[in-house]
Structure 1
Amino acid sequence: MSPPTSRTPVIDMAKGLACIAIVWHHLAFYGPMSDIAQPLAPALIAWLYDYGRMAVQVFLVLGGYLAAASLAPQGVPRFDHAGHVIAKRFVRLVVPYAVALLLTVIVAALVRPGLDHASVPDEPTLAQLLANALLLQDIVGESALSAGVWYVAIDFQLFALSVLVWAGARAFPGARAQQHAALLAKSAIVAGMAASLWVLNRMPELDMWAVYFFGSYGLGMLAYWAVQAPRAQGWVALMVVLGGVALAIDHRGRILVALATALCLVAALRSDSVRSWRGVAPLVQLGQMSYSVFLVHFAVCLLVNAVISRLWPESPVLNALGMLLAFALSLAAGRQLYLHVERHVPSWTTALRWQVGLVGAGMLVAVSSNWA
């Protein structure tokens, strides 16, 4: 979910595959189509339900890799003002996010009367709308308006935390020389990773904060520096030690996936033939628009669920086809959001307009539903 700097086809393909896994995880997790179709492929649907979410770790590692590539390729920040960089990131994330949430609020209002299912969000409240618009929903205890939006908040927190670490290292007394600042920043990142992987990631009550996920994000940063280094052995050994100790303390599948992703990145991107490979075009294109697909797919899946369950509430075959249709329409809707919103550089005015629109339209929908 990083901006399209320092991208390679391999990275976009990885994003595309992770995006597919997330959409199908949500199709399996949020019924009722998956509930009806389950007898046709019980093992597959159960796997998607239980393990599809692991693809989030791929996004975390790639996010850290691209953050290091764009902001501190040598470990020293190449930006002047931390606040400006963080604000720019917020605006880029929040504009397509607000558009997608507004669509979800409208779709939920349309399907709520005819679809009695736990996956349908309740009518939004003003506090909920404001919290979601500001990426604070989990922190203040408000429900998310759409599936997966917690990740957007975490991505922003991780990016902001990394920017502050780099800026702090540069401003630290005695770190005037670039090599000293780079060593200080990298040391702070490794220490933060160790704390996250070995302690904080084992505390579920912290999963609304960046520190819970910083280990996976940091593995992406280390992977970038390993790719750029004349010799990668030291970086790879550090990654294996950090991840291996974390798994020895508490074996977590999500950490294993993050470590494997980071190591595969190093192996792939240190190969000239892989770096020059143009990739599989459809996956590359999906990776480029994966953020938009991620944002909009829940609204699409919710709408298709409502239609299919209304017309064919007991047909496993037609509900399975409905899941395929929801996936295809999610890609199509994500492409439109990407082309018309995400890839355009937004301004603070644009962001504010869409956030106000989200809150205003959400309240209008809630009031209209109460009147009805």
Structure 2
Amino acid sequence: MSPRPSRMACIDALKAISSQLIVLHHLAFYGPMSDAAHVLAPDLLDWFSQYARIAVQAFLVISGFLAARSLAPGGHLVVPHPLQAIWRRYQKLVVPYSVAILIAIAGAAIARTWMHHDSIPSAPGLHQFLAHVLLLHNVLDFDALSAGVWYVAIDLQLFVLLIVALWAARRCAQWFDVGGSPLGPLVVAGLVVASLFWFNRDAAWDIWAIYFFGAYGMGTLAFWASAPERSPVALLVLGAVVLAALIVDFRLRIAVALSIALLLAVARRGGWLDRWPQAPSLAFFGRISYSVFLVHFPVCLVVNAVVFHVAPNRPLLNALGMILAWLLSNVAGTVFHRYVESTDPLRALRMALWPARAEPAQRQQGGQHRST
């Protein structure tokens, strides 16, 4: 779930739809409102609870697709300093994420004053908070402070794994003086096969990137295979390998990931990735999808607590509460995107603490922009 807008109409539409499905999944899965409202629409709420979470596969595939576009558009790593690229990725993910974690802690504290429920995270200690900021909470076995925060940690792991794979391929090509086609796609394809046929079939690996690399790598391979000058055979091979993995062990999430990867590949080859669908609303919700993802859970918790306090066990009012929580999640995401995700809080903090240092740097940057 990239923290930056893709500026591609098809990708923004997929982000918009997927992010809304994830919000609805969490509304149906967590909190007492869905329990009370279940009698009104049991099939719909069961579907949101059980299947809407599969929308996360879209974000995994899109992240891999865009990572290939920025790191290795031709199949070989073009980033001169991989560690700096990893650090930049960490900052882009974690700066808004850390603000959202603070909001989640505050939201949980408010919710605890009105109700007791398993969906409310406990008040964190310093070690738990630092583990979240370092994106190690799953690895260190700390309870999550907000729903879905596992994805941010996995996104960074996947980015690191891809860079390491591409760097290793580049080094091997240099050492053995391998010319012709880059080795990067072969290394990534090997990781995809390992994930699909082994690691993704064992839930014990689900705190590590390799478990999810099947979907992420599908996006990466789809980008390379969808170059208009390339033969479509590579896409057919990708589809055949994934279908073989599904025959061995059918997983709906992998089937969805394959569908998304093929959609992106066909859209790029057909030249309509950037311009279809022309829907301003989808473009807007795609742009704010990361912000909505980050802040929706504390909003839903607080609304759950209020409705539980004033109207427990009243199905209609609880259903209306779910709709209100969904709407407020998008409002909160819009505000968060405007004032947190779209800004640079670290730069603003530096300017507030050391204005004398920040001002010359700003003038220097401005001079560079004017000279280019």
Structure 1 length as normaliser, TM-score?
0.89
Q: Give me the whole-angstrom Cα distance separating, in 1, the residues matched to 2:292 and 2:71.
A: 25
The residue correspondences of 1:274-289 to structure 2 (distance < 5 A) are: 275-277=274-276, 279-289=278-288
Q: Residue 369 of structure 1 aligns with which residue? A: none
The residue correspondences of 1:120-131 to structure 2 (distance < 5 A) are: 120-131=120-131
Moved more, 139-148 or 234-243: 234-243
The residue correspondences of 1:197-236 to structure 2 (distance < 5 A) are: 197-236=196-235
Q: Residue 248 of structure 2 aligns with which residue? A: 249
SS of the residue aligned with 2:119? coil
Letter in 2 for 1:161: L
Q: Give me the whole-angstrom Cα distance separating, in 1, the residues matched to 2:164 and 2:125.
A: 33
Deviation at 1:320, TM superposition (A): 0.8
Q: Residue 338 of structure 2 aligns with which residue? A: 339
Q: Residue 118 of structure 1 aligns with which residue? A: 118
Q: Is contact 1:32-1:305 (8 Å) kept? A: yes
The residue correspondences of 1:311-326 to structure 2 (distance < 5 A) are: 311-326=310-325
Q: Is contact 1:5-1:66 (8 Å) kept? A: no
Q: Does 1:263 align with 2:236?
A: no
Q: Residue 305 of structure 1 aligns with which residue? A: 304
Letter in 2 for 1:25: H
Deviation at 1:126, TM superposition (A): 2.3
Q: Is contact 1:75-1:183 (8 Å) kept? A: yes
Q: Give me the whole-angstrom Cα distance separating, in 1, the residues matched to 2:222 and 2:82.
A: 23
SS of the residue aligned with 2:131? helix
Runs of 4+ in 1 over 6 A off after TM superposition: none
Deviation at 1:346, TM superposition (A): 5.6
Q: Give me the whole-angstrom Cα distance separating, in 1, the residues matched to 2:253 and 2:349.
A: 36
Q: Is contact 1:2-1:67 (8 Å) kept? A: no
| Gap regions ≥5 residues in structure 2 | 353-372
Structure 1's 273 and 133: CA in aligned 2 closer, same or farther, altered over 3 A? closer
Deviation at 1:137, TM superposition (A): 0.6
The residue correspondences of 1:1-372 to structure 2 (distance < 5 A) are: 1-2=1-2, 4=4, 7-172=7-172, 174=174, 180=180, 183-273=182-272, 275-277=274-276, 279-345=278-344, 347=346
Moved more, 3-12 or 342-351: 342-351
Q: Give me the whole-angstrom Cα distance separating, in 2, the residues matched to 1:176 and 1:287.
A: 44
SS of the residue aligned with 2:182? helix
| Gap regions ≥5 residues in structure 1 | 354-372
Paired residue total:
351
Structure 2 length as normaliser, TM-score?
0.89
Q: Residue 359 of structure 1 aligns with which residue? A: none
CA distances 1:212-270 after superposition (whole Å, capped 9, x unpaired): 00010011011111221424522211221221111011101111110111111122232
How many percent of aligned residue pairs carry the same amino acid? 45
CA distances 1:113-162 after superposition (whole Å, capped 9, x unpaired): 32111111112122211211110011011111000000000000001111
SS of the residue aligned with 1:295? helix
Q: Give me the whole-angstrom Cα distance separating, in 2, the residues matched to 1:204 and 1:222.
A: 24
Letter in 2 for 1:157: Q
Q: Give me the whole-angstrom Cα distance separating, in 2, the residues matched to 1:175 and 1:346.
A: 42
Letter in 2 for 1:336: V
Letter in 2 for 1:309: F
Structure 1's 142 and 250: CA in aligned 2 closer, same or farther, altered over 3 A? same
Q: Is contact 1:92-1:346 (8 Å) kept? A: no
Q: Give me the whole-angstrom Cα distance separating, in 1, the residues matched to 2:300 and 2:267.
A: 34
Q: Give me the whole-angstrom Cα distance separating, in 1, the residues matched to 2:3 and 2:113.
A: 39
Deviation at 1:6, TM superposition (A): 5.8
Q: Give me the whole-angstrom Cα distance separating, in 2, the residues matched to 1:152 and 1:348.
A: 22
Deviation at 1:171, TM superposition (A): 2.0
